[in-house]
Amino acid sequence: MSDSNRFPEGFLWGAATSAYQIEGSPLADGAAPSNWHRFSHTLGMTTNGDTGDIACDHYRRYQADVDLMASLGLNAYRFSISWSRVLPNGVGKVNDIGVDFYSRLVDALLDKGIKPNATLFHWDLPVALEDRGGWQNRDISEWFADYASIMFDKLGDRVPMWATVNEPWVIMDGGYMHGTLAPGHRSAYEAAIVSHNILRAHGRGVQAFRANKHNANSQIGLVVNLEPKYPASDSAEDIAATARADAYMNRQYLDPAMLGSYPTELREVFGDAWQEWPADDMKLIQEKFDFLGINYYTRGVTRHDPASIPVHASKVYQPDHVYMETGWEVFPDALRRVLVWVKERYGDIPLYITENGSCFYDAPVAIDGVLDDPLRVDCLKGNLHAVSQAISEGAPVKGYFAWSLLDNFEWSHGYSRRFGLVHVDYSTQERTIKSSGKVYSNVIRTSGAVLDK
């Protein structure tokens, strides 16, 4: 195993964001509310009652943000499209001014030589659809395919990389199992159905992509969050708990999409809520896609814990290890391990790290244009080293997107959690490149060689 950091020719060096987290102006120019607009405006759902009303004001400042990306040297940018900007009713009449925003953004990126990577669904569902059952309604696969087709028609001539859904697991677990994210439900029955419908929608999205004339040379993928699970001990109970946790978080979507069946452990996790799914659905879910997007933040050292619902497993704190403000352990080797595991289990599909980053406290205001974030710098370097090692061990990793370009609205944590390579002063919207942003920029400029020093 080589210790020097090498990344292949043509490697994508990007950063990622999502619509509701950065755009602001959620109801501008004919857009209708999303479920995240409604959730954040519901008392008690976010820290300090924060909402995405203004966020990073990217909807109006996108050109300056694209210039910032270019100054960092990014050659790719992952963003998401707000469904309710484009289709205020979720279906039916298209809001052309909403589409135009994404069209201008894509042109601005191309103008700077930055490859657009568009995610169709990063959690903000039109309320019009939420009120018809949202992800619990089987029809959502058709609603999604229609929305996807519209976007392929409008942007497919210029966007070479698409993703259907961002992190099905978080939508299901946060939105429907534990209720910490929109729409805030708590039901294993709903969660099971939602998981399955997300995969059906993904399958229909891929079919719509193949049917569109623009897409012959572009790619479509699925983005999953993966968190390698390590047993806390070699007891049979801890090992079984680790397998359940791994099935629930890491294999729940990839096994059906790539191997054709759900992990057997899901019966134990969901209990009676889990169903026998129709064979036709399982076929649809296996629709072949072009790349896998992996979001990685942490690992889970796992022990048996009957009190922890629904997996009966919980994480064990690792003394002396560095933890993020989110409670996530910093452990770069798990990123190497998960990339190699994906290749071994699912075969040689191109891999992109579509999100990776860290959350540490930064001051609300940068002083004299400087924002030092040494913990984030360490984490970034460790993770990039892990990616390079995984590549040398044969994992087909083709690109890396840092989460996130900007500090932004971190869902139910509001603005209290910062992940950006670029600091945002929310009282002035001033952007300041953090030390981590400068390090990343140097990594890009030297194709990783600077990491060897």
Which residues lie below 8 Å from residue 402, measured CB to CB, with a gap of 6+?
14, 15, 16, 355, 356, 357, 380, 421, 440
Residue 444: CB minimum distance to ligand FCB, A: 21
- Contact residues for ligand FCB (CB under 6 A)? 18, 21, 166-167, 170, 225, 295, 355, 403, 410-411, 419
315, 313, 321, 320: which is closest to 301 by C-alpha?
315
237, 403, 376: which is closest to 306 by C-alpha?
237
For ligand FCB, the closer of residues 201 and 284 by Cβ is: 201
* C-alpha distance across the termini of the chain, in Å: 18
For ligand FCB, the closer of residues 154 and 423 by Cβ is: 423
Which entry of 23, 130, 167, 190 is annotated as an active-site residue? 167
- What is 203-245 written as a DSSP string? HHHHHHHHHSGGGGG-EEEEEEE---EEESSS-HHHHHHHHHH
Helix, strand, or coil here: 40? helix
Catalytic residue flag (residue 190): no
For ligand FCB, the closer of residues 130 and 355 by Cβ is: 355
For ligand FCB, the closer of residues 152 and 411 by Cβ is: 411
What's the Rg (C-alpha) of the chain? 21
Residue 174: CB minimum distance to ligand FCB, A: 9
Q: Other C-beta atoms within 10 Å of 10: how many? A: 8
Residue 267: CB minimum distance to ligand FCB, A: 26
Catalytic residue flag (residue 355): yes
Which residues lie below 8 Å from residue 227, measured CB to CB, with a gap of 6+?
249, 250, 296, 297, 298, 299, 300, 334
How far apart, in whole angstroms, are the C-alpha atoms of residue 58 and residue 143?
27
Whether the Cβ atoms of residue 111 and residue 172 lie closer than 8 Å to each other? no
Distance, C-alpha 107 to centroid of its chain: 23
Residue 173: CB minimum distance to ligand FCB, A: 11
Which entry of 190, 265, 355, 410 is annotated as an active-site residue? 355
Structure tokens at 275: 């169903």
How far apart, in whole angstroms, are the C-alpha atoms of residue 75 and residue 380?
18
Residue 321: CB minimum distance to ligand FCB, A: 19
For ligand FCB, the closer of residues 40 and 149 by Cβ is: 40
Residue 314: CB minimum distance to ligand FCB, A: 19
For ligand FCB, the closer of residues 14 and 231 by Cβ is: 14
Which amino acids are annotated catalytic? 167, 355
